[in-house]
Amino acid sequence: MPTPDACPSVLFVCVHNAGRSQMAAAFLTRLAGDRVQVRSAGSAPADTVNPAVVEALAEVGIDISAEAPKVLTVEAVQASDVVITMGCGDTCPIFPGMRYLDWELPDPAGQGVEAVRPIRDEIEKRIRALADELAPRAQP
């Protein structure tokens, strides 16, 4: 885990980096701000972010229309304190001593916004718990 002076780093990984990992990164960025370093990547990145995911996040006030899928690198994994996989299977490199979480979530690929909303809402719920754990807000 990070030193007390450093902010934790989280990497979200799914196959295409076009849906689940993009939503998770956007929610954590919104909730934790600069208290957590956020990355996302895919083991086989798509050309663009899923339009239904862009629309579903816009409905809750998050604009990811300028985001692009990124390729998963060993360096990104090594630079992260927590790696959260979302269906990337065995393609995510595993390093001893690192914290890994696997979130089983439906894949929004090829789905309309109606199907993406419940996935979005579940990701937001999980991200709220993660943000509270990694970057609690200072109490007054």
* Catalytically annotated residues: 14, 88, 92
Which residues, at least 6 apart from 138, have a Cβ–Cβ distance to it below 8 Å?
none
Query: Which parts of the chain fold into alpha helices (H)?
Result: 20-32, 51-58, 74-78, 113-134
- CA distance to 26, 86, 89, 120, 135, per residue, from 107 (Å): 17, 9, 13, 11, 28
The maximal CA–CA distance of the chain, rounded, in angstroms, is 45
